[in-house]
Amino acid sequence: MSASTTATGPGGATGPTGDVGPSPAAARPRRSRRGAAEARAGLLLALPFVLLFAVFTAWPVLQSMFMSFTDMRISDIRTPFAVDFVGLENYRAAFADPVFRRAAMNTGVFVLLGVPLTIIAGLAAAVALNHGVGRLRSVFRIGFYSPVITSIVAVAVVWRFLLQPETGLVNTVLSWVGIDGPHWLGDQRTALLSLVVMAVWRNFGTSMIIFLAGLQAVDPGLHEAAALDGAGRWRRFVSITLPSIRPTMLFVLVTTSIGYLQFFEEPFVMTSGGPLNATVSASMYTYNQFGFGNYGVAGAMAYLTFLVIGIVTLVQFRLMREK
């Protein structure tokens, strides 16, 4: 038996009612007591999580949502209710802000390029480690994961060196084949792309280990059967492996997209949003607004980002035919 490929909600329960001793599975479903026991168990299992979540996450979220509809500034933090309600004014102002629009566009490009690349790299690494490498697997695993845990300071120094226009490694190598490399981080046309590459390098390790976990659940029996039938490696990958890890794929897709839609560290550390706003991200701009104390406006920008993330996630769920 293989893992279910498409996940739908839990189906109805068939079988005996109640928790009494075994009896043959009945054809007709008897839901009432089963359903009640199930519901009880479900709520019980959910309770600790939901409780903590409600107090420490949901409530602050509601407060901040309220904040985004007011003209709250940092001077109001002691008296958060003595602010003016301004409705959608902050949201309108965010749309009207050319820098925010630029930031939104940069974020969009970043996501469209970065997410697929990261997923492909992570999946490739996971598959390679799972099937192609026997010993030394741990070494490779840690090695490929190391960018995720390396201090951003070290990352910044090394990448700045790589991308330096005159003495940088990339341009030096390019010059060997006669190409005059651009000023990667200083040229408006290449800065964002450089950050995409850096981000993919930094994050593919996380996708990799998640895929590794998902791949563990794939039944090798299926592969053996298909191989016996003459299916090649690629064919098997596409027809067996990929469908088997669909829930994992959805997870990686959604969480990577969410992460990249909020990308902050790369432009913050490497370019401060420059040159000339070529790399400013929505998150970074929102962070700046918080820094300036414009809490109402910053809140609106954050929730606009949230809306976009929500829509993107919804689309992804639909695409993968999940509920």
Partner 1 sequence: MSPTARPTRRTVTGLGAAAALGLLAACGRPDDDTGGEAAASAEPIGEGAATGSLTVWAMGAEGEKLPELLKGFQEQNPDVTVEVTPVPWDSAHDKFTSAIAAGTAPDVAQVGSTWMAEFVGLDALEPTPEEIATDDYFAGALESVTVDETVYGVPWYVETRVVFYRTDLAEQAGITEPPTDWEGLVELAQAYQSQADATWGISLQPGGTGSWQTVMPLIWSGGGNVVDEAGEAFTFESAQNEEALSYYQSYFTDGIANPAPADGTTEQDFVSGAVPMFISGPWMMSAVEAVGGEGFADKYGVFTMPTKETSSSFLGGANLGVFQGTENRDAAWKLVQYLSTPEVQVQWFAQSTDLPSLQQGWEDDAVASNEKFEVFREQLDTALAPPVVATWEQVAASFDAQIEEVCKNDLAPADALAATQSEAQGIGTGA
Partner 2 sequence: MLERRSPVLTYIVLTVFLLLVITPFVWMILGSLKTQGELLQVPPTWLPDAPTLDNFRRLFDRPFGRFFTNSALVAVAVTAGNLLLSSMFGYALAHLRFPFKKLLFVLVLGCLMIPGLVTFIPQYVLVVNLGLADTLPALILPFLVQPFSVFLMRQFFLGLPRELLEAGRIDGVGEIAIFFRIYLPLAGPAFATLGILTFLGSWNNFLWPLVVSSSESTYTLPVALALISTGQNETDYGLLLAGATLIVLPILVVFLFFQRHFIQGIASTGIK
Q: At residue 85, what are phi and psi to the nearest 5 degrees? A: -80, 125
CA angle, 57 then 261 then 140, to 5°: 95
Site track for partner 1 across 84-123, x = CB under 8 A = x--------------x------------------------
Ranges assigned E (strand) in 88-176: none
Least distance to partner 2, CB of residue 78, Å: 10
Q: Which of 166, 176, 177, 228 binds partner 1 (CB under 8 A)?
A: 166
Longest Cα separation, the chain: 80
In angstroms, the CA 323 to CA 316 distance is 10
Region of 141-149, 178-186, 247-255, 309-317 interacting with partner 1 (CB under 8 A): 178-186
The tokens describing 109, both together, are 């490009």
Residues between 269 and 298 that touch partner 1 (CB under 8 A): 270, 272, 274-277, 288, 291-294
User: For residues 244 and 279, which CB has a smaller minimum distance to partner 1 in the complex?
Assistant: 279
CB under 5 to 8 A by kind: which of partner 1, partner 2, none does 302 bind?
partner 2
CB under 5 to 8 A by kind: which of partner 1, partner 2, none does 78 bind?
partner 1
CB under 5 to 8 A by kind: which of partner 1, partner 2, none does 95 bind?
none
Q: Render 10-26 in DSSP notation, one character per residue.
A: -----S--SSSS--PPP
Least distance to partner 1, CB of residue 83, Å: 5
User: For residues 277 and 316, which CB has a smaller minimum distance to partner 1 in the complex?
Assistant: 277
Hey, CA dihedral for 107, 110, 115, 116, is it positive or negative?
Answer: positive
In angstroms, the CA 175 to CA 152 distance is 28
The tokens describing 50, both together, are 């939901």
User: For residues 2 and 239, which CB has a smaller minimum distance to partner 2 in the complex?
Assistant: 2
Alpha helix (H) residue ranges in 217-322: 220-228, 233-236, 242-244, 246-261, 265-270, 282-292, 295-319
CB under 5 to 8 A by kind: which of partner 2, partner 1, none does 299 bind?
partner 2
Region of 42-50, 54-62, 180-188, 311-319 interacting with partner 1 (CB under 8 A): 180-188
In angstroms, the CA 77 to CA 59 distance is 17
Least distance to partner 1, CB of residue 114, Å: 22
User: For residues 53 and 292, which CB has a smaller minimum distance to partner 1 in the complex?
Assistant: 292
Q: Which of 76, 126, 202, 206 binds partner 1 (CB under 8 A)?
A: 76
